[in-house]
């Protein structure tokens, strides 16, 4: 894209499956997003939730992300694992997740073209990174 000469062995390591994974428009959309506020939203869990066709798996993903283990919740909110106050952070987590993802999830389910494009690019990038 920038005209840099990249050695063939480096390109091969970046693309082990062969062929071009991303076209130039996709690369530009990933590197220079039009709507930067949408880019941070898709996580691996979010993408797995959206892409999984089975309702039971979606419920499981949702449940595990909402109700973290004691250790993960303590780490997320910087509180001691053995603190009696730890359980009060589950409602805080619900509020945080709703505030962080509700608007973007709603846009995705409504079929907002900008949100669908961002999630699609992030999904493709995530799959490519997991492949290596």
Residue 1 pLDDT level (bands cut at 50, 70, 90): low
Secondary structure of residue 1 in the 3-state scheme: coil
CA–CA separation, 114 and 108 (whole Å): 9
| 5 vs 28: which has the higher pLDDT | 5
Angle between helices 113-131 and 44-51 (to 10 degrees): 110
Residue 38 has pLDDT above 70, yes or no: no
pTM: 0.52
List C-alpha distances in Å: 17 to 74, 75, 118.
Answer: 40, 37, 23
Q: For 58-97, how does the pLDDT look when each residue is reduced to its tens digit (9 = 90+)? A: 889 888 888 899 999 999 999 999 999 999 999 999 898 8
CA–CA separation, 101 and 108 (whole Å): 10
Sorted by where each begins, the domain ranges of the chain are 23-131
């Amino acid at each position: 894209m920038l005209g840099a000469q990249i050695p063939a062995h480096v390109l091969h390591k970046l693309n082990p499956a062969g062929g071009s994974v991303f076209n130039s428009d996709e690369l530009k959309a990933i590197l220079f997003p039009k709507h930067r506020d949408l880019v941070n939203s898709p996580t691996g869990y979010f993408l797995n939730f959206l892409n999984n066709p089975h309702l039971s798996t979606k419920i499981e993903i949702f449940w595990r992300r909402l109700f973290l283990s004691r250790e993960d919740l303590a780490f997320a909110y910087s509180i001691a694992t053995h603190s009696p106050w730890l359980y009060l952070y589950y409602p805080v987590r619900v509020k945080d997740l709703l505030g962080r993802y509700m608007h973007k999830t709603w846009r995705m389910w409504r079929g907002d073209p900008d949100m669908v494009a961002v999630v699609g690019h992030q999904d493709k990038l995530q799959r490519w990174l997991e492949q290596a």
